[in-house]
Structure 1
Amino acid sequence: MRTALPSVPTALRTAATVFVLGLATGCAVLPEPTATEVQAQALGKVVVPPNWSAEASAAQVDEGWLASFNDPELSRLVHEALENNPDLWVASARLEMANAQVDIAEAQLKPAIGVLGRAGNKPVADLVALLSGVMLRMSWEIDLWGRMRYARNAARASRDATSADYRYAQQSLAASVARAWFVASETRLQQQLAADMVDASSGLLAMSEQRRKVGIGTDAEIMSARANLASYADAQQQMELAHRQALRALELLLGRYPGATLAARDSLTPFPGPVPAGIPADVLNRRPDMVAAERRVASAFDRVGEAKASMLPSLSLSAGYGRISNEAVQMRGDLEQTTSSAAATAMVPLYTGGALTAQVAVRTAEQKVAVADYARRALVALGEVEDALNAERVLAERERILGDAAAAGRDATRLEQDAYRVGKSDLRAVNQRQLAQWAAEVALLNVQRERLVRRIDLHLALGGSFGEAPLAASGPVLSDPQASSNH
């Protein structure tokens, strides 16, 4: 009858004690640079003013800009895109990978424990192979100089950067859907304008034919009216094509089949009120893409520390405990025993041909790249806000001017048509007046849509959130019938 395994021997307990002591005596890693320190290093020669150069409220930036447009259909489309857009699935998968990389890096700091089993029947000449049994083994590399802790911190910083990238991808997608929605509404209104111009041209053709019947018109007027009608009919077809293309672009963002079946608004989304813009310094801390750039600087800093620690000695400990038996060969009766072991392995890098030094140089250069990239992104971000604020003022004034021009054009066209009807004007003057009116209406629509688009740009540039969104878009998952459990 076999007896139970005895208690863990002294060697194994000693090894465990060494593990704990090694962990306790490890060198502390240097803290990552703060966001303020990154900004100071990256923008050391740039004077960031306390306020925007364009006129704007310094109040805190509002969250939930999507609701400010008071367009329920737009809000519904944005949330549909957040659930179904394939590009966002890619960003979500990258975030999952980044989280897994953190788990891998943290696992390197923990001991590895496993069970080793051996059984076999070899020729008599190979007596060692005849031994069989089961052993519990544990190994652990002591992080004396912080190499693995630097690697873990770098993975965490990279994970945080990827998470910020995902939030920015959500905001960018919401902005893209809003822009596409505004374009679809604009092209539908342009369709209506083109249809109105076709109807007006048909009326002019009928009027010119009537004038000829009463003896005050000519065949040339009729031919000119028919040519103008054909031109406006062609413009109507062009607007039809533009509208369907706008619908397909929006449907692709929504993750739908691009069949141009979506119904757009028959009016532009109402323009919301003023936007608090905060101060320039806040943008660098609020925008997700700037947060991502700052965390990449922190990750690069940790990679430098990891590379430097790799140049120092390393210490690995191992221990084992189990039972070994030999039932194939009789040696001193039925040989059967328990065994335990403990070992420490030190490795001191003496000469690597300059590889370790070069690795430190590579990581240092990567850190410089990350800082320079932060500076570049910061200047672009600040410039985007200034551009959007300036566009707010200019486009508002343009809308007022073009609104007055369109209203005056409608009155002038009506008067010109009345004058033509009673014979006080010719068809050429009427056609020119109609063309000018149509151009003014189209220009007004374009500016109104551009104001909405630039308002979206301002929200995106300021880093304001558009509202509640899924934490991670869940894309399609392929089942694996042979998936194994995680270790």
Structure 2
Amino acid sequence: MSMPSLRPWVLAAPLAAALAGCALKPPPTTDDLRKEVLQQGPMPEAFRAGGGVSTPVADHWLASFEEPALTTLVNEALAYNADLQVAAARVEQAAGYVKVASGGLLPSVGLAALGGDKSGGGGGLNGVFLNASLELDVWGRLRYESAASREQLAAAEADYAYARQSLAAMVAKSWFLAVEAGMQRAIAKDSLSSSEGLMRLADDRLRIGNGTALSSAQARASVNGYRDTLKQVELSREQALRALELLVGRYPGAEIAVADQLSRMPPPLPVGVPSEVLERRPDMVAAERRVAAAFNRVGEAKAAQLPKIRLTAGGSNVSSELIVLKDVSSPVWSLGANLIAPIYQGGALRAQVEIRSAEQKQAVAEYARAGQKAFSEVETALGTESILREREAVLTAAIRDNEEALRLARIQYQVGTADLRTVEQSQLALYAARTSRLRVQSEQLAQRANLYLALGGGV
């Protein structure tokens, strides 16, 4: 059968409307968003805290610590960490939503078949029905939906990249903490050994008649205090090892091997300029993409208030052994178009536009908040690193002075010109200075990892 004749104007109107469809409006530019980050003043040309080099930030920061075992653990964490696998699954979900949204721009085709015999439920009818339809995206509703899904995918990918960087920094900081805990244990053991020596000396003085029972009891109490301190440090070390094992996906048995000494502090880090932080950090990229997605959702909601134009086509081939099909030649084809315009839905469509507009405002505000947080993290890491460097020098001098004070106090106690309390106070001051310097050295390395993360440096 030849296809029934169609008047040219039947399809001319919708096709012309489709060809003249509305172009999508672009989302806010990066420059527009940057104005939201610092509304009260311009962005500085350099970081105020100083301490870095104003050259472009380099990637592969993990190698700067010169710890191959740490690099191995980071790679292990990137492969097995459960939280990172969750972030990867979100990327896969977002990719699926892109395919779903893009499907609306393509034709929809359906096929139905009917068969039966004289006594069956089909009444002897046999046939095939083929239907196809395509919505003409005149107002851009489908394109806005597809664009929003693509932006959401880009945001999920950036979130995943930031999750990888955050995990690497967390493993590095946990490594430093575990190494520090081992070194703190060594200091506690040294202090306990020194205290035990004082206890033996006090007992010897008491035995020969130069000491007192009070001094001997004080010495034993001091030994027990250092033993308790050692147990606390050992517990902290086990907890640090378990935390590191969990990050890399292992069973938390406190059996992971770490270095005996902290890494050397890397040289000053290239920090670039503040404006580069908004471009480099994956979380900032994700926030910008969410703004774009929210903008497209507004366009989608506005377009949903306008009429929908859909082209339809169908074909069928039906036969029957019981019924004579008159005036119909098989197969039969049809082609047409329909228009559906929303007239009244209780204000739901307008409310949807308002909701999407509010979501866009929220996304812009979250971008500004993320930008301010990024600047704060960089400035804090730079400022803290500078102060820690100064503290390390002060504590090194304090250790030297306390070691000399302890040496002199022990001599005076042995010759009877000083009491045991003076020696114990000198020993306690030395222990405090050693543990504080070690804490500062570990924190310096942790702050360097924080700085790498804050600047958006890649592993």
What is the SS of the residue equivalent to 2:332?
strand
CA distance in 1, matches of 2:368, 2:76: 35
Aligned partner letter, 2:170: S
Specify which of 63, 86, 96 is matched with residue 92 of structure 2. Answer: 96
Contact map agreement 1:38 1:297 (CA 8 A) in 2: no
2:449 matched residue in structure 1: 456
1:39 matched residue in structure 2: 34
Distance 1:293 1:393, change over 3 A: same
What is the SS of the residue equivalent to 2:86?
helix
Q: TM-score, normalised by structure 2?
A: 0.93
Residue 209 of structure 1 deviates from its aligned partner by: 1.9
2:390 matched residue in structure 1: 397
CA distance in 1, matches of 2:181, 2:162: 28
Aligned partner letter, 1:163: E
Distance 1:187 1:83, change over 3 A: same
Distance 1:72 1:10, change over 3 A: farther
Distance 1:350 1:76, change over 3 A: same
Specify which of 73, 94, 97 is matched with residue 77 of structure 1. Answer: 73
Deviates more, 1:313-322 or 1:436-445: 313-322
Deviates more, 1:417-426 or 1:234-243: 417-426
Residue 18 of structure 1 deviates from its aligned partner by: 8.8
Specify which of 356, 362, 369 is matched with residue 349 of structure 2. Answer: 356
Aligned partner letter, 1:413: L
| 1:287 matches 2:271 | no
Contact map agreement 2:46 2:54 (CA 8 A) in 1: yes
Contact map agreement 1:15 1:342 (CA 8 A) in 2: no
CA distance in 2, matches of 1:306, 1:30: 11
Aligned partner letter, 2:350: T
1:469 matched residue in structure 2: none
Distance 1:154 1:122, change over 3 A: farther
Specify which of 102, 105, 108 is matched with residue 106 of structure 1. Answer: 102
Q: TM-score, normalised by structure 1?
A: 0.88
Residue 274 of structure 1 deviates from its aligned partner by: 0.3
2:369 matched residue in structure 1: 376
CA distance in 2, matches of 1:160, 1:8: 46
Residue ranges of structure 1 left out of the alignment (5+ in a row): 1-5, 467-487
2:410 matched residue in structure 1: 417
What is the SS of the residue equivalent to 1:76?
helix
Aligned partner letter, 1:35: T
CA distance in 1, matches of 2:270, 2:118: 81
| 1:435 matches 2:428 | yes
Distance 1:275 1:316, change over 3 A: same
Contact map agreement 2:141 2:304 (CA 8 A) in 1: yes
Distance 1:332 1:283, change over 3 A: closer
Distance 1:203 1:325, change over 3 A: same
1:186 matched residue in structure 2: 180
CA distance in 2, matches of 1:95, 1:122: 54
Contact map agreement 1:8 1:321 (CA 8 A) in 2: no
Distance 1:354 1:79, change over 3 A: same
Contact map agreement 1:322 1:340 (CA 8 A) in 2: yes
Aligned partner letter, 2:375: L
CA distance in 1, matches of 2:377, 2:247: 23
Deviates more, 1:400-409 or 1:34-43: 34-43
Contact map agreement 1:286 1:463 (CA 8 A) in 2: yes
Contact map agreement 1:324 1:336 (CA 8 A) in 2: no
1:201-350 alignment to 2 at 5 Å?
201-329=195-323, 337-350=330-343
Deviates more, 1:181-190 or 1:262-271: 262-271
Residue ranges of structure 2 left out of the alignment (5+ in a row): none
1:136 matched residue in structure 2: 130
| 1:197 matches 2:191 | yes
Instruction: Give the number of equivalent residue pairs.
Output: 458
1:426 matched residue in structure 2: 419
Specify which of 12, 27, 32 is matched with residue 22 of structure 2. Answer: 27
1:68 matched residue in structure 2: 64
Contact map agreement 1:15 1:318 (CA 8 A) in 2: no
| 1:177 matches 2:171 | yes
1:472 matched residue in structure 2: none
What is the SS of the residue equivalent to 1:346?
strand
Aligned partner letter, 2:376: G
Aligned partner letter, 2:30: A
Residue 41 of structure 1 deviates from its aligned partner by: 4.5
Deviates more, 1:60-69 or 1:210-219: 210-219
Residue 107 of structure 1 deviates from its aligned partner by: 0.8
CA distance in 2, matches of 1:17, 1:137: 21
What is the SS of the residue equivalent to 2:330?
strand
Distance 1:8 1:223, change over 3 A: farther
What is the SS of the residue equivalent to 2:235?
helix
Paired-residue identity, %: 45
CA distance in 1, matches of 2:168, 2:366: 25
Aligned partner letter, 1:326: S
Distance 1:234 1:44, change over 3 A: closer
| 1:408 matches 2:397 | no
